[in-house]
Amino acid sequence: MAIINYRQALNDALREEMTEDPTVMIMGCDVAPGGSFGVTLGLLDEFGPKRVRSTPISEPGFTGAGVGAAATGLRPIVEILYSDWITMCSDQIVNMAAKMRYMFGGKVNMPLVIRSPFGAGGGVAAQHSQSLEAWFNHIPGLKVCTPITPYDVKGMLKEAIRDNNPVMFFEHKRAYQLKGEVPEGDYTVPFGKAAVRMEGTDITIVTYSMMAVYAQSAAKKLAEEGISCEVIDLRSLLPLDYDTVMASIAKTGRVLVVHEAMLRGGIGGDIIAEIIERGFDLLDAPPARLGALNVPLPYNAGLESLCIPNEATIMEAVKKALSDK
């Protein structure tokens, strides 16, 4: 298997799907010359200006055009340069893309992918750092995914493009250089199937995206101290693979949910509520959650790092959850 980075995996997925299906097209700010993160490099030369389009800076307009195009026979991929700006086009996503099939009695397809870099890091401050996935998890009609390995991001983007529903595809903006093994040839990664990244017996860490990377490094250090963590990377949040989560908790009896989004209103609270409803009796200790501080992301590197969970705070949270053991 070839070792490629996350950016190349995305680029390969787009190229392969556009080669296979002439109805697939992509649009967004600066997409034609390759996009701000280089994900669409080379696609313009291969597929031409009708299918690889740089848009005006008008997120509601071009996201809405994606909705109309998806309803009439294309499989558009809309790139929102930073996920914070999804707030501008959320009317088109929440009230149109997510609702049309239902409102119209099932008589329309909505094969729309909204790709967007999210997450903090690098001092881009409060308007370029947010993790708003919980907002969209609240909306029936959408699918929400957060793949973090090159293998997953390629297979899941292909899955998203082929899906007849609107998919919120959140790419971590610090992940584009992450490397990993990706097989040759076509494959997809389904929604709603979590990946057990590390097996363990003392506690289950439920997480996704960049926090799955941090949780694994925290778990490796904790293993040196004799603490055995099972790390579950959810990969998709809507649908969410509670079967894998509950099977793990049945084994460990303890759970910590970690996400980069702010704790208040984050998906961690929802996941823990669901865990309690499904298996309160399986728990040997109160379920724990770790998320960002409830503050807008500050610019200063020191202040920024205080806000977001990291290896050390994950280790600390694990130890706290095991403190009565």
Residues making contact with another protein (CB under 8 A) = 22-23, 25, 50-51, 53, 55-56, 58, 60-74, 76, 91-92, 95-96, 100-109, 140-141, 143, 163-165, 192, 238-239
Per-position DSSP letters for 30-97, written without gaps between them: TTTTT-TTSTTTTHHHHH-TTTEEEPPS-HHHHHHHHHHHHHTT-EEEEE-SSGGGHHHHHIIIIIII
Q: What minimum distance in Å lies between the beta carbon of 54 and another protein?
A: 10
**Alpha carbons within 13 A on the beta-carbon side of 72:** 6
The tokens of 301 are what? 């590197």
- Residue 311: CB atoms within 10 Å: 17
Give the nearer residue to another protein in terms of CB position, either 169 or 214: 169
**Amino acid letter at 184?**
E
Cβ proximity to another protein, 192 vs 269, nearer residue: 192
Q: Who contacts 178 (Cβ-Cβ below 8 Å, separation ≥6)?
A: 5, 6, 148, 149, 150, 213
Q: Which CB atom, from 67 or from 120, has the smaller least distance to another protein? A: 67
- Please spell the DSSP secondary structure of 179-233, one letter per residue: EEEE-SS-----TT--EEEE--SSEEEEE-THHHHHHHHHHHHHHHTT--EEEEE
For residue 227, the minimal CB distance to another protein (Å) is 34
- The 10 Å Cβ neighbour count of residue 263 is 16
* Residue with smaller CB distance to another protein, 14 or 67: 67
Q: Are strands 203-207 and 255-262 parallel, antiparallel or unpaired?
A: parallel
Rounded-to-integer distance, Cα 145 and Cα 69, Å: 22
> Closest distance between another protein and the C-beta of residue 260, in Å?
23
- Residue 53 Cβ vs another protein, minimum distance, rounded to whole Å: 7
- In angstroms, give the least distance from the CB of 98 to another protein: 9
Distance of alpha carbon 306 from the chain centroid = 22
Residue 76 vs 287, nearer CB to another protein = 76
